Structure formats: C-alpha cells, structure tokens
Chains A and B, each alone.
Chain A
C-alpha cells in the first residue's frame, strides 16, 4: 500500500459547484501535510498547509483527520481557473515529503 493515496479522478465539476477531495495516508507517524496545485506541464505550487485544527483560505478549506488518517481539500464556488491537478503531500518524520499521485480536476463552464 502506498504511503499517500489519492483518487486520480478526473473530477469534472460545473462552475460554481463545491468539490472535495480526500487523501489517505498509511503512516501514523505523520507530522505535517500540504496541498499542492499543479497545472499542466508546470511545477507544483503550494496551495495550503494542513493543520490539525483545519484551515481556510478564501474558497479553499483543508482539514486533517488523524483518527481516520486522511486529509481533505474543499473548494467552494469553483472557478474555471481551479482546473488543475491537486497533489497532497505528507511529512512522516523523515523530513521528506511523500506525494500522492494527484487528483485531476476540470471545472466545466
């Protein structure tokens, strides 16, 4: 089993809708988590750090559920520009990030 797993999608969502992705992890020795956004043929860009208390940045909300070992990303009022691949990453105490395969999101006009 991979340390970090994501549904690769694609998720095709109409503009204005709310969409949520989960990312599960198998190593309970997790220290920190992140969501990255990656546009086609571009590098990953940090979207949000994920805190135990949850955090919100505009239309984006990230949450961490340690008991069930998953993190989530919620996007409200989705825009066409939100179309991208969303990568989750975890630091499991070895000071390196382990990435999931990414979830591809397409917002449909």
Chain B
C-alpha cells in the first residue's frame, strides 16, 4: 500500500515569496492533517480536514497561510508571503476517522 506522498521534499525560497506544498493521503483515508515541525520539537497541527471540510484550522496563521482539499483527496498548503520564521518541516498525515495517523516524508522549507 502506498503511503502518504508529499512534494516537494525540499524547498528554498527568499522571504516574501510564495510557496506551496502538496499532499496525497493514503487511499481511503478521509482525514488529512497538516503539521509544522520545528527542530527539536514535536509536530504541531496547522489544519485538519474531514473529507473536503476543514474541521480544525484554529492553529493556522490565516494572514499568510491557506489550505485546500477541494475533492476530499489531495491537499495543498500555501504560504504567501513567506517569512524567515516559516523555515521548518511541513508534514502531512492521514487517517481513517480519528484512528492512527500516518505521516508523509515532509517538505523541508528554508526561507532565506
């Protein structure tokens, strides 16, 4: 069974530029999560989707971050404009309902 797919794996941009990350969850997983992980910290939830509905986006900085999951399958997370402090690993995870979550390999973002 294919795991969670994310792209790109690495991204280097200059501050104030936009950036987008893509995630394709495990087939059949209706719940999708975007996490941010800083070095030496655990993942922190940014947004959670049930199918195409964002059911928890309370931790998403909405002034610069946006996300969508239009058909309830793959998802895109965007940052515009990026700031230096956004440098981190962006992890996507999926699950069936609220059972065990499975993570993708992440996108390592560096903002210069």
Contacts and interface: CB of A to CB of B under 8 A. Distances in A.
Contacts of A43: 91, 103-106
Interface stretch (B43-51, B60-68, B71-79): B43-51
A95 B91 contact: no
A10 to B, nearest CB: 11
Interface in B18-52: 33, 40-45, 48
Interface string B78-104: 000000000000010000001011111
Interface residues of B, number: 20
Given A4-B42, A43-B106, A95-B55, 9 more contacts: A34-B100, A46-B100, A46-B101, A49-B100, A87-B43, A95-B56, A97-B101, A101-B40, A101-B42
27 contacts: A41-B108, A43-B91, A43-B103, A43-B104, A43-B105, A44-B43, A44-B91, A44-B103, A45-B103, A46-B101, A49-B100, A87-B42, A87-B43, A89-B42, A91-B98, A94-B56, A95-B48, A95-B55, A96-B56, A97-B43, A97-B101, A99-B43, A100-B42, A101-B40, A101-B41, A101-B42, A102-B42
